[in-house]
Amino acid sequence: MGQRQDDASERHYFRADRLFMTNSEWYFATREGIDRGPYGSRDEALRALAGFIDEMTAIEALRSIRMKKVAIR
């Protein structure tokens, strides 16, 4: 599917069931089985989840670079 010129180039895709509400507070579940929160709204939890995904992606990229450097030595 094509991308419109004014669309953001980076998108975050995640399962909707990662978000849940308990006692009127929002949380998200990580793949590692950890619940993160509480957040005051679903939108706030979604933003936090997107930030968490960015952080994990950056950590994985650094690990990959580090492993390549170790393999070269």
- Per-residue pLDDT at 41: 97
- Per-residue pLDDT at 1: 44
Residue listed under structure tokens 């995904």: 53
- Per-residue pLDDT at 19: 95
Domain edges within the chain: 16-72
pLDDT digits (tens, 9 = 90+) for 13-61: 556 589 999 999 999 999 889 999 999 999 999 999 999 999 999 999 9
- Per-residue pLDDT at 40: 98
Q: What angle (nearest 5°) sits at the alpha carbon of residue 57, between those of residues 52 and 61?
A: 150
DSSP 9: S
Strand partners, 39: 26
